[in-house]
Chain A
Amino acid sequence: MPDAKPQRLSPLQLFLIFTRIALTSFGGGLSGWFMREFVQTRKLMSEEEFLNGLAIAQALPGVNVTNMAIWIGYRMAGRNGAIASFLGIVVPPAFTVVLIGSIFASFSQYPLSHVALDGAASAAIGLSLAMGLTAARRVSRKLFPLMIMAATFVAIGILQWPLLWTVAAAGSLSVAVTYFDT
């Protein structure tokens, strides 16, 4: 079946979905949550469509998570969808972080809370890794894209080069070659 587009969510629904994800995503991995929610569970976007958006959201300046929320929101419900998704992913957790910050003095006395969080974070890495592996599996099986992927991984993960320049260099090289190659 080609990508049919009956996939309309109202801005309110988008706001509630992003709020729920924002408030339950202890330990990070939010973009992985998005993929889970919109691609696998609700089947509102194809994996292809999600990964294309993710590539843009990663390459543009800005925090990936909010970029991706705005991207998804816009595709689902236009301008109001983008606004609702952005507000959902930012505003409720903003209140939460201030609340936790205000009660931190009492919170930090329980070392178990740190242990609980470390455990949550280790499971949450699974969300990022599963998304990374899905993205890698969907890179076309040709030498050049695979080399770009490996080079980006080594530059950032192992050599720890600055993100901005690595993305600018690898991105423009890869896009240029793709453009003239097709």
Chain B
Amino acid sequence: MAEYVWPAAGDRLHIGKHISRLDGPVKATGRAKYAYDVNRRGMLWAIMVQCPHAHARITAIDTSAAEAMDGVVRVHVIQDVGTEIQWAHDEIVAVAATSEEVARDGAAAVKIEYEVLSHFVNERAVDEAPDAQPAQAETTGDPAAAMASAPTKSSGSYHVAQIAHCSLESHGQVAEWQDEETVTLWASTQAISGVASQLGEQIGIPASNVHVETQYMGGGFGSKFSVDRWGVVCAQIARDTGRPVKLMLDRDQEVSVAGARPSTHAEVSTAADADGNVVAWDSKSWGSGGPAGANSPPLPYVFSFENQTQMHTSVPTNTGPARAWRAPRHPQACLVTMRALEDLSHAAGMDPLDFFLKNIEKTGERASTYVEELEKGAELMGWRDRWRPRGSATGTVRSGLGLALHTWGGRGHRSNCEVLAYRDGLVEARIGSQDLGTGTRTIIALVLAETFGVGLEQVKVTMGRSVLPASGASGGSTTVGGVSGATRRAALNAVDAVFERIAPRLGTEMANLELKNGQLHFKDGSTAAMPWRQAATLIGVNPVSATGANPGPGQLNDSGVGGIQMADVSVDMETGVVSINRLVAVQDCGLILDMKLAESQVYGSLIMGVTYALTEERVFDPHTGQMLNPDMEFYKLAGIEDVGEMIVHMMTGPGYDERGVIGLGEPPVIAPGAAIANAATNATGVPINEMPMTPERVLAAINGGMA
């Protein structure tokens, strides 16, 4: 029986190396087909009519003009007269036509009347919220008493704006029915298996008759777990018309209704003893991600203090609803906590690096990891030589340093894999997972190749279809652990199954065989090693098949990481423009399967972090409740010139490798904003407490206004 472990450090053929993603070339050359690229014979285009009001009741719908138009095949009412609409851009009617242009004209011809109701979109004004929902305070110890007697105190209010996911590939799909009971959905989704079940349920056919396919995806970040109303509508129109239908969201819909990260606003008081030990935390926070408000961010973040209390108020608003945004609630909690603690370190007259180290035991079981990472980060940033107390910088453009800590789980999800070994030497993994662009396909291939001891050209990954062995949704950094565990186990089982089949044909025992560096070896040395491809011919016409699952025997993955990030920024004191000079990210994630992909995840996270730190926010019009920047012109994403130099260091070796694989999608996106805000505070000498740190807000802080 196979032993379900990862190979030891000296025995790794691929694991831990810098391996480029296998689908890079097809993506770079445009041969990779995304959902939007799927075009079927006789396909219709569907466009959705959106509600212009943030809160309204539908009083009349007249589709006659649209229905009369040449080329319009179907007008589908999604929400009928009498429905109360809770946010602008909500979908009311879908028009399907023979071309995208006709569908747009048809949508424009639909007449909908509304009774406009009062709306609330200014979630920052918690006192004006009609339906604010305060939760009970959660208290440990006696924060008030600890605060009263402590020699060092600090307080501040910290703000994180609501942002969107703004995936480059918008939500949507193409639906085509094979017969009355069977439909195929080419969808942009993070959950092919889950979407099949959801759609089957909603349109009344068995989940097994829904085939979902996602080979390539242009970003989801937590916003693409559901089949969504537009997925159901697309399938319904396809069924009603007997024709394939494409329905993709436009950019304005994408950023208005297809995902938001809740805002967080917090008033925080903290206190420390004479040695700089944090003794008390008190936070009152509120925030909104739409009609359901927002759950409390985990405050205080990473640290637990002996005396702490936190109270959160959820503020429902008439805005497009929240969806999980990469590391849900953590970036907000990180900004609030790390800014508040940096302020306390300043009050204590300490270098924040010393201050965080002083209090590091309060982070719990990852404390020693944080210490190692802080020391590594300090070395890469030159922190000890370069850090100066807040406000020391002079001149028009001032630079400063900041740091922040983060944490995440990332245990592998449930996943199944089938491995097939063919007599031509090809080894195939079949797995019902999707690759969000993170490199999942490459990870599966390299685990398979590693286990068979062959090159990557010798393996094939078949994935992205719901009919394959079920694998979990890709969210919460669970995919890499799930698919690597399932693939490793399936591949180890497949190696055994190959040996079982060919050993008799080689006149030896299974236990005498091993695969290494592309060769089949005889452990007893009785026979010279033979190339894998020659050995594989003995498999015969029926391929060998074996399966594996995660979780399963042996510890192949784990949960729980801690990372640190440091920022070096410059602030133009006259314009409030913040520029990133350098970002340092030091990250652990257990055993790293592909160093290049791991580093890429961190680079991508830093860029996303710079974006929400400096430029990105959803702006709502007080009059209409509509989003004023549902575009990529004023919904501002950072460009390559904005991100500065990025230095990524992955923790590896003893203490890390033996934990097995841990997810990396979320952790590194949590801390950039907090580190950048702390650096901007250190540079300017005034608290920079709001994200995004636009010139407007930074100037307000510098000029002594409310920050």
Q: A and B from one assembly?
A: no
Give the A-binding residues of B (Cβ under 8 A): none
- Using a CB–CB cutoff of 8 Å, the interface residues on chain A facing chain B are none
